[in-house]
Structure 1
């Protein structure tokens, strides 16, 4: 599942605009070059490990973030206080049936592994680069990739990435031709506070999903912010 306030499923790379597909290789190459002095994957890391790391840290990529958890998706549909005047959207995609549209070689790998999604270790022997991924099939397709456990955020958010076989392919358009693969849940703006209250009571918060001081600060900022109905978002039994 994925949460959106907009109605289209486009990637951060596509939102760059211009000739974004020509920039993808340069973005990832320079990310790998300048990330050497930071915490990075091992020297044997694959393209897919680097792509997941780059996406995780905000680099524009062709990846889209998904989660196995409907509660996590609802969190990200209701965590932005500036968007409470807008409806939220949760996209639910059947990744098992989506795998039926993969090239034969990729489907065979999943069958042999008894899996419905890829890891970098599964994908690397079949396709070691974005270019090879595109060459496996002329018709665009989507695959789902479980990221490595780079940190607690990915683990706690039950994270999953999707990527199209070409940078120009838009998952939204691909899905419009295959309506049996997805459905959308609309969260009316007037119900967002009620949904948000219930999520907080279930401990689905920034403090849990974004471990660390940054997530803690985001949770406290939202928790104490005035609500649009004039109330303060505070649980007296929990905090003073």
Structure 2
């Protein structure tokens, strides 16, 4: 995929400028970005969900997956009984869902674009989406709910009173839309990754296709393969590592494995 919104960086310095592109906020005279980020090791990847990657008639499987997850999970697995809490927990633990992982941190996104050493011969990408401006495409009932809260993203507590099911989400309007959902702080992983989810109004809507029709909402940073080692080493020195982002022995082991890998 190649778009007119692509920024090809050629150095670490150019990368920093691109990551914080348009982050100045005149209203508060502060650097507060309205963008969220998703890092991917291959620039040609589209924003497909894990549900889509099941293949077949995947949209009909969504309700079955979530129903059975709730049925077999520990009764205290989700904080409260809101569908949106259950969906966040399911995504967090690897169930195929329509949710996509994003982060407020451009450096966390960089981590996921460069964490796999087996893919250092491939150009990577950081997707950057203006989550504040994306709210202009929400149906009125959701616009009103988020405006009344004084927020730019949803939480399960804000979404539940106005929309309690996936069917309602798609019934608000015919045109597809995206909303950004902050999960509860289930564990250190979500907190340390500064995480949130993107959710399309229908399971078959592809976010990258939706964004292509709205070029004012996003840009992409293309990272040449030759820069990956430099980026990775500088991220490690800045402590943006699995040891921090995936607290526990697995994260520690992944960080140490890369640290002692010989080029």
What TM-score comes out, normalization by structure 2 length? 0.84
Q: Which runs of 4+ in 1 moved over 2 A?
A: none
The residue aligned with 1:35 is 73
| Residue-by-residue CA offset, 1:68-118 (whole Å, 9 max, x unaligned) | 000100011000011111111000000000010000010011111111100
Determine the structure 2 residue equivalent to 1:125.
161
Confirm or deny: 8 A CA contact 2:41 2:112 kept in the other structure. no
Structure 1 residue aligned with 2:210:
174
| 8 Å Cα contact 2:41-2:114 kept in structure 1 | no
Does the 8 Å contact 2:38/2:127 carry over to 1? Answer: yes
Match of 2:55 among 17, 20, 24: 17
Q: Shift of residue 24 of structure 1? A: 0.3
Kindly report which structure 2 residues correspond to 1:108-123, keeping only aligned pairs within 5 A, or say none: 108-123=144-159
Q: Distance in 1 between matches of 2:50 and 2:41?
A: 14
Report what 2:39 is aligned to. Answer: 3
**Cα displacement string for residues 169-195 of structure 1 (whole angstroms, at most 9, x for unaligned residues):** 110110010011000011110000000
**Within-5 A mapping of 1:225-236:** 225-227=261-263
Question: What do the CA deviations read for 1:91-150 (whole angstroms, capped 9, x no partner)?
Answer: 000000001000001001111111110000000001001111111111110000001000
Distance 1:33 1:20 in 2: 20
Q: CA deviation at 1:224?
A: 1.3
Alignment of 1:52-91 (within 5 A): 52-91=88-127
Q: How does 1:100-111 map to 2 (within 5 A)?
A: 100-111=136-147
How far 1:155 moved relative to its partner? 0.3
Check if 1:194 corresponds to 2:233.
Answer: no
TM-score for both structures, normalised by structure 1: 0.92
Structure 1 position 222, deviation (Å): 1.4
Distance 1:148 1:77 in 2: 25
Residue segments in structure 1 that go unaligned for 5+ positions in a row: 228-240
Partner of 1:143: 179
2:24 maps to: none
Shift of 1:5: 2.6
Q: CA RMSD in A?
A: 1.0
Is the contact made by 2:243 and 2:252 (CA closer than 8 Å) also made in structure 1? yes
